[in-house]
Amino acid sequence: MIEPKDSKQQDGNAQTLTTRQGHPVSNNQNQRTVGTRGPATLENYQFLEKISHFDRERIPERVVHARGAGAHGVFKAYGKVGDESISKYTRAKLFQTEGKETPVFVRFSTVIHSGHSPETLRDPRGFAVKFYTEDGNWDLVGNNLKVFFIRDAIKFPDVIHSLKPDPVTNRQDGGRIFDFMSNTPEAMHMLTWLFSPWGIPANYRQMQGSGVNTYKWVNDKGEGTLVKYHFEPLQGVKNLTQPEAEEIQAKNINHATQDLYEAIERGDFPQWEMRVQLMSDGEHPELDFDPLDDTKIWPEDQFPMMPVGVMTLNRNPENYFAEVEQAAFGTGVLVDGLDFSDDKMLVGRTFSYSDTQRYRVGPNYLQLPINSPRAAVATNQRDGQMTYHVDAVPGQNPHVNYEPSSMNGPKEAPRNLPEHSPHVEGRVQRASIERTNDFKQAGERYRAHDERERDDLINNLVANISAAIPEVQARMVELFTKCDPDYGRRVNEGLRAARQAKEKQEGQREPQTV
């Protein structure tokens, strides 16, 4: 057993500065030198330790979603879904009883640029929630927008590379982005959201959240129902046009982090209602989209949004690095009553998150307080870098780090409820889903935007696509025309006007004389 720390330093004063070995520091202003002017000596332990820890202060950034802000809070269940008992669909304990509270930690983020990039950039916003339930942790790793660029995880590194800075110039480049997108017709729906003001939420408090991928709920009988998760901000939704965002960015690159922190400090706690859409498990050939396709929304008139609880953020982190930077969310982190669907993005994500976290934070990232479940952990997984303690059952024989054992080791949990065990059959192959239907919902979204949103969408697309080669520009116009003829026409006209303006500008330039 590791002894608890003394509450006072050696000299009996709780204020005294020490080294990380607990030695009091009596001079923190000068390193040890020969005489007042040096040279310094290598046995300068206090100085060398201080500098070498500083040298290691940073861990790798998240490969995506590096820029973020987080807060603690609570989720309060309504105990039903619509007018029905929620137990009909899921046995997950956190949802069952009206008023039941589950602590949460939420991290919001932007996706593409690095840890201190402006929070006004056009980007999906991450909306990751960790529920510390009595059955262990549940992570719902979502975005503000309800759809995504691609529907197969194998394309994720490509879509992200196209959006990240050019590997030569180190600048984000509309020419590269739309080179990729023009060859990715399933991205049209996402682009129609992203290049409108919905691609720049005004702050983190006034944006929606969505699980995007399709999951399952499982009831006491082991029956599954397809489910999509949504968070609706009770503060309302507010988005920025490009000029509005630029005005903020000129003065403040941290406005969203600041807004969240200050609102919580003044007691103006942001809240989101959690809503779900349910669909019976199955392929649903009657629909013109595949329920496992994350480039599609489920139309609300057929699959209504049903409230299941409310989430309140009411406490700021005490330390950004320990709680926000080291927080690790993953789509594989589910509790009993919640399950995966066969969504081809979800399976790839589920591998990717914990894989990157073992690299980014370390193999024992789950022992850090922000990631560790509030429920007891008893596992025989041991050791590795930065092991903090042994995750054993109380009184466990310390010699037993395997299972099964008759010498007082952890035992398997009783199998009380039937597992959800769908029957799947088919040829193993590499193939796209059949109902791709890439343009219909994008066209519907284009028409559903109000005039301000549509104008901003066209301006932003034109500004970015103008950087692309003519072949890519033509293909983008063709794809938008398939979504809605007016959409294609307006982008085409905008691109033509941009080309003419450029030619005019170049023609006006004085010929250079030598």
Q: Which of 62, 72, 130, 205 binds ligand HEM (CB under 6 A)?
A: 62
Prior bond of 404 cis (ω within 30°): yes
Candidates 137, 143, 144, 492; catalytic one: 143
459 a catalytic residue: no
Angle at Cα 134 formed by Cα 130 and Cα 137, nearest 5°?
30
**Residue in the shown chain whose Cβ atom is closest to ligand HEM:** 126
Q: Is 386 helix (H, G, I), strand (E, B) or coil?
A: coil
Dihedral class, residue 395 (left if φ above 0, else alpha if ψ from -120 to 50, else beta): left
CB of 110 to ligand HEM, least distance (A): 10
Nearer to ligand HEM, 284 or 360 (CB): 360
- Asked if 479 touches ligand HEM (CB under 6 A), the answer is no
Q: Which two tokens stand for residue 138?
A: 């549940």
Decide if 107 contacts 122 (C-beta within 8 A).
no
CB of 257 to ligand HEM, least distance (A): 13
- Asked if 370 touches ligand HEM (CB under 6 A), the answer is no
423 a catalytic residue: no
Amino acid identity at 83: D
- Residues 135 to 174 in contact with ligand HEM, rule: CB under 6 A: 141-143, 148, 153, 156
Q: 3-class secondary structure for 42-76?
A: CCCHHHHHHHHHHHCCCCCCCCCCCEEEEEEEEEE
- Asked if 362 touches ligand HEM (CB under 6 A), the answer is no
Write phi, then psi, for 233 (nearest 5 degrees). Answer: -70, 130
- Asked if 68 touches ligand HEM (CB under 6 A), the answer is yes
How many chain residues are in contact with ligand HEM, going by CB under 6 A? 27
Q: Is 353 annotated as a binding residue?
A: yes
CB of 350 to ligand HEM, least distance (A): 9
Nearer to ligand HEM, 334 or 462 (CB): 334
Nearer to ligand HEM, 102 or 350 (CB): 350
Q: Which two tokens stand for residue 397?
A: 């024989």
Nearer to ligand HEM, 212 or 313 (CB): 212
Q: Is 338 helix (H, G, I), strand (E, B) or coil?
A: strand
Q: Which of 90, 102, 109, 225 binds ligand HEM (CB under 6 A)?
A: 109
Q: What is the DSSP letter of 12?
A: S
CB of 385 to ligand HEM, least distance (A): 17
Q: Is 480 helix (H, G, I), strand (E, B) or coil?
A: helix
CB of 295 to ligand HEM, least distance (A): 10
Write phi, then psi, for 53 (nearest 5 degrees). Answer: -70, -40
Nearest C-alpha neighbor of 74 from the set 103, 94, 105: 103
CB of 211 to ligand HEM, least distance (A): 6
Q: In angstroms, what is the C-alpha Rg of the chain? A: 27
Known binding-site positions: 353
Known binding-site positions for heme: 353
Interface ranges with ligand HEM (CB under 6 A):
62-65, 68, 107, 109, 126, 128, 141-143, 148, 153, 156, 212, 327-329, 345, 348-349, 352-353, 356-357, 360
List residues with catalytic annotation. Answer: 65, 143
